[in-house]
Amino acid sequence: MRTVELLPDAATELHVRDMWHAIAAAGLPSLAAHRHPTNRPHLTLATCEDLRPSTRAALAAVLDDALPAPSRLDGLLRFPGRTRVLAWRVVAGPELVELHRRVWDVLATDAVGPLNPLHAPGRWIPHLTLARSRRTSARWPAHLLPPALSHPWEASFTGARSYDSATRTVETLGGEAGGTERWEG
């Protein structure tokens, strides 16, 4: 599986990583514990089986044209399921909604394999993951979460990458993919 992900500006990345560590310090499951070198805050736009060279080129053109894309982090989301997820909601403004639609159109035309329908325009729930757990008891009580998660955060998505789940590697797709592929803290 390949993803198309947006990467936040450096200040937002650091802030999200601080939230990961604060959640972990409260004794709760957090992405701070996920130590793979590719683990970093990101916003998934879509997934597919693979990307052709022509798909990569079309995505780069779309992404370079649209980035940076301003946004706001505001409110928490909880996703149930086999893996429970706590996420910071990304309030997608018109620029981000249009970017998502354009990426989806490129992939729908030229990607290998089916696209995940959960990322389809109109169904997509933009978010930055804060924590994941396969424990059914994972609940992330509000009183244990960092107070900063209750305050909106102005963000900008400045870069894009693709994660390859088979090789567990990333590839830059566009924009400024700066930041850290691994953060120690």
41-51 pLDDT, tens per residue?
999 999 999 99
Provide, rounded to the nearest whole percent, the portion of the chain with pLDDT above 70: 95
Residue 124 lies in a domain: yes
The answer to whether 149 touches 87, Cβ cutoff 8 Å, is no
pTM: 0.90
Query: Is pLDDT at 16 greater than 90 in this prediction?
Result: yes
Indicate the number of domains in the chain.
Answer: 1
* 85 neighbors 163 (Cβ within 8 angstroms): no
**pLDDT confidence of residue 182:** 35
Do 16 and 8 contact (CB within 8 A), yes or no? yes
What is each CA distance from 59 to 6, 45, 91, in whole angstroms?
12, 12, 22
Neighbours of 151 (CB within 10 A): 9
Q: How far apart are CA 52 and CA 150, in angstroms?
A: 41
- Taking each continuous run of H as one helix and of E as one strand, the counts in the chain are 3, 7
Residue 185 lies in a domain: no
**Residue 134 within any structural domain of the chain:** yes
Does residue 183 lie within any of the structural domains? no
E strand or H helix at 59: helix 53-66
Average the pLDDT over 101-128 and give the result.
93
Residue 170, domain CATH: 3.90.1140.10
* DSSP string over 159-179: EEEEEETTTTEEEEEEE---S
**Nearest to residue 38, comparing CAs of 85, 65, 3?**
3
Domain hosting 69: range is 2-175
Residue 37 lies in a domain: yes
Mean pLDDT of the chain: 90
